[in-house]
Amino acid sequence: MLIKQLIKTSLVLSLSIASYASVAQNLLLSGELKASEQQLFYAPKSDNWRVQVQWMMEEGEIAQQGDVVVVFDSGSIASEIEQDEVSLEAAKEELVRVTTSNEEKQIEAEFNFKRTELLLQRARIDAAIPQANLSTYDYQKNQLELEKALINKQKSSEELYQVKTANKVAHSKQLLTIEQLETNLKYNKTQLASMSIKAQRTGPVLYANHPWNGEKAFVGMTAQPGWKIAEIPAMSELYIEAWVHEIDYQKLKLDQPAQLLFDAYLQQPLQAKLTEISTQPEERLQWGKDAYFRARFNFSASGLKLLPGMSAKLTIGASADE
């Protein structure tokens, strides 16, 4: 009896070891449901180095194309736009005033120049009268008037040139002022528009995780420019993303099958296939300093209501009926 009992115990131990070896060969991975394409919503650049999330469409709600999904605090941008519009209108009115004033000054300068030309012509005629026909006083007076007329014409010519130059400078400066105000107004309007981001596709709204603490984005949080706040995934092509430890990397091969089990559907196992694996490892700060390789698994799951972000378990090396 003792011998039979020892043989029975040995057989049970052998079967247990074989079963453990089979399980040990299986590779278990945690994955997350991802979408191949998605619209990402980032915190915009503003005058401040941080911007506050003022409003967001509820997570999981289906956004239609053109719907506002995220609104950021615009701060003083709206008041700046109003001020720019008032300043621009005033600058345009000033341009009209400057143009009218310049035209008046130029007309006056041109009239004065033509008058001095006529006076010069008259002085030349008088100065051309021979001295024999005039008294010495009248002759010298005519010569003096000619010199004065020449000087006056030169002065009026210089004044006309200065008026034209000043008018051109004043007009150009006012145009530059208007252009600067228009540029500021356009920039502020673009900034204001960037504070309200609309959906470019139809799909569920998913909140992003905080890059530092991993918490979900929420209304009222402050974000730095470039932080991902939300996304709308395309539901046409979903896949599982998993991160493989460098120790297990050699165990994977492309097209390798895997058993897939979503946390939300524990009673409905699916089949997946490894379709992509990175060649360069990355550090996952949340998991320590070890290196991990990104892996992608494709699958088919008709009839299941899935949303990106769902957690799943992948078992590689297990048979389909396990």
Q: What's the rounded Cα separation, in Å, for the pair 207 and 217?
A: 6
Task: Provide the whole-model pTM.
Answer: 0.55
The radius of gyration of the chain's CA atoms, rounded to the nearest angstrom, is 43
Torsion over CA: 284, 289, 294, 295 (sign): negative
Taking alpha carbons only, the member of 111, 102, 113, 110 closest to residue 165 is 102
pLDDT at 276: 94
> How far, in Å, CA of 239 to CA of 277, rounded?
13
Cβ pair 262, 268 in contact under 8 A? yes
Q: Tens-of-pLDDT digits for all 322 residues of the chain?
A: 444 443 344 433 343 333 333 444 689 999 999 888 889 999 988 777 788 999 999 998 999 999 999 999 887 888 888 899 999 999 999 999 999 988 898 899 899 999 999 988 998 998 888 988 888 888 898 889 989 989 999 999 999 899 989 999 999 999 999 999 999 999 888 888 888 999 998 889 999 988 888 889 999 999 999 999 999 988 878 999 999 999 999 889 999 999 999 999 989 999 999 999 999 988 877 777 889 999 999 998 877 888 888 899 999 974 444 4
Alpha-carbon gap, residue 59 to 117, rounded angstroms = 83
The pLDDT, as a whole number, for residue 25 is: 67
- Say what the pLDDT of residue 131 is: 85
**Fold assignment, 26-72+201-316:** Elongation Factor Tu (Ef-tu); domain 3 (2.40.30)
> What pLDDT is attached to residue 290?
86
Give CA–CA dist 205/226, Å, rounded. Answer: 18
